[in-house]
Amino acid sequence: MTAAPIVTLEHVTRSYTLGEVTVTALADVSLEILPGEFTVILGPSGCGKTTLLNMIGALDTPTSGRLLVAGRDLTGAGRKERFRFRRETIGFIFQTFNLFPALTAAENVEFGIDVAGVDGGHELAVSTLEQVGLAERVRHFPHELSGGEQQRVAIARALATGSPVLLADEPTGELDFTTGVQILGLLHQQAHEGRCVLVVTHNREIARAAHRVIELSSGRIVSDGPPAGGTVDLTRLRW
């Protein structure tokens, strides 16, 4: 039996109009993503990767076409509905971590838990930090942590609420190679546990470790499938 897709886009177009100029960031994109897939969205700067991710994460809505995520039709969803949907369904991980500098690691994760309206509070925050290997860092503030540790706090924040969809926009962009591979390992593990994990990158090497690579160029899908030569182990990546 094949699993039902958790993300479906049907002929999605997103264009931005600024004065006289219209920029088409995504042009007629159709795709389906299954839970448990580690998918990389690959392409050069400006090709529409973030636009696609923001659409799936309900931060933005299509100009035309149809969008379904986790069984919800988000096509014409209003701000409030999208906000509620995000809280319940989406975990976001950003290139620059987006942690609150005045909150400790545990408090940053707990904040995410509270916003999502999930039970567990501090204890859940601490146990999720343990899960990402930060048991010894729960009381540290972001400026007392390395880049990789900060990104792991951000991942813990996205994981703690049990969201079925994890979206990461260039999550290793600020990190050195070894730390980047560690972060990819954590994300891989989440896909293995059944989540839908989508990672945006312009780094072809990262794409080699994905189950599936969706390549964009000028807002269109130019290829979609397993990486050429098959998925390689993270230990074989170099960049």
Ligand X SMILES: Nc1ncnc2c1ncn2[C@@H]1O[C@H](COP(=O)(O)OP(=O)(O)O)[C@@H](O)[C@H]1O
Residues contributing to the site for ligand X (CB under 6 A): 16, 18, 23, 25, 43, 45-51
Count of CB atoms within 10 A of residue 90's CB?
23
Q: Binds 48, which of ligand X, Mg ion, none (CB < 5 to 8 A, cut-off by type)?
A: ligand X
Q: Which residue is nearest to Mg ion (CB)?
A: 50
Residue linked to tokens 């990819």: 184
Q: Binds 56, which of ligand X, Mg ion, none (CB < 5 to 8 A, cut-off by type)?
A: none
Enclosing H/E stretch for 159: helix 147-160
In angstroms, give the least distance from the CB of 23 to ligand X. Answer: 5
In angstroms, give the least distance from the CB of 30 to ligand X. Answer: 17
Q: Which residues bind Mg ion (CB under 5 A)?
A: 49-50
Task: Measure the CA–CA gap between 13 and 26, rounded to whole angstroms.
Answer: 5
The one-letter amino acid at 75: T
Exposed (0-12), middle (13-18) or buried (19+): which is 79, by Cβ within 10 Å?
Answer: exposed
What is the per-residue burial (b if ≥16 Cβ within 10 Å, else e) of 154-181? bbbbbbbbebbbbbbbbbbebbeeebbb
Give whichever of 1 and 21 is closer to ligand X, judged by the CB atom. Answer: 21
Give the angle 173-177-180 at the CA atoms, nearest 5°.
55
Give whichever of 52 and 106 is closer to ligand X, judged by the CB atom. Answer: 52
In angstroms, give the least distance from the CB of 79 to Mg ion. Answer: 22
Give whichever of 140 and 202 is closer to ligand X, judged by the CB atom. Answer: 202
Give whichever of 125 and 167 is closer to Mg ion, judged by the CB atom. Answer: 167
Spatial contact of 168 and 91, defined as CB atoms under 8 Å apart: no
Give whichever of 42 and 129 is closer to ligand X, judged by the CB atom. Answer: 42
Give whichever of 50 and 128 is closer to Mg ion, judged by the CB atom. Answer: 50
In angstroms, give the least distance from the CB of 31 to Mg ion. Answer: 18
In angstroms, give the least distance from the CB of 206 to ligand X. Answer: 14
> What SS3 class is residue 195?
coil
Task: Measure the CA–CA gap between 30 and 45, rounded to whole angstroms.
Answer: 21
Task: Measure the CA–CA gap between 116 and 163, rounded to whole angstroms.
Answer: 9
Q: Binds 198, which of Mg ion, ligand X, none (CB < 5 to 8 A, cut-off by type)?
A: none
In angstroms, give the least distance from the CB of 59 to ligand X. Answer: 11
